[in-house]
Amino acid sequence: MARDRIEWAEGLVELWNSGDYERWLDEMGADFEFTPDPSFPDADTYRGEDLRRWLRDWISTWRENRFELIGVEQVGDALLMRGRWHLATRQTGGEVPLQDFTLVLFYDDDEAQRPGRMSAYFDHGQARDAARATG
């Protein structure tokens, strides 16, 4: 099961990087929840149409937006996806300094192919702690 989840997650990164964000959201499912890093000014948990609106606003901020996957590991029932955002601002086209980032995909049960929710963390230790707390 872990290999299937990892392959699915890697496919999500490819889909994201293709720029087809609506399809990415469709792939996640209607009940999917996302919580950005606690340091975000609008940190909250988003789902459904609220998630689509939030994500469209976030995407519209950037002229370029690509996620570089560094590695994937399973911690309990969660997947940790370490990566880097490659971002360029819409106004100037200047690149934002690279920063490592960890996405935690949480699964509702052992048999679930898709995660029910995902949280983002700039601090990898916080991401691991969140994953351990659910497993």
Contacts of 92 (CB under 8 A, 6+ apart): none
Q: Would the pLDDT of 1 be above 60? A: no
Average pLDDT of span 113-132: 93
Looking at the structure of the chain, the number of domains it has is 1
Dist. CA 9–CA 112, nearest whole Å: 13
Tens-digit pLDDT profile for residues 41-97: 888 999 999 999 999 998 888 888 899 999 999 998 899 999 998 888 887 767 776
DSSP bridge pairs for 35: 119
Sequence-distant (≥ 6) Cβ neighbours of residue 11 within 8 angstroms: none
CATH number at residue 44: 3.10.450.50
Where is 12: in which H helix or E strand? helix 2-18
Q: What is the pLDDT of residue 96?
A: 73
Q: Note whether 16 and 50 are within 8 A (CB).
A: no
Task: Give the model's confidence band at 124: pLDDT under 50 very low, under 70 low, under 90 confident, else very high.
Answer: very high
Q: Provide the pLDDT for residue 134.
A: 78
Structural domain including 8 reads: 2-134
Mean pLDDT, the chain, integer:
89
CA distance 88 to 4: 32
The rounded distance, in Å, linking the Cα atoms of 20 and 103 is 19
Whether pLDDT at 36 is above 60 = yes
The whole model's pTM is what?
Answer: 0.89
pLDDT the model gives residue 121: 96
Query: pLDDT at position 114, please?
Result: 87
At residue 135 the predicted structure's pLDDT band, cuts being 50, 70 and 90, is low
- pLDDT value of position 111: 76
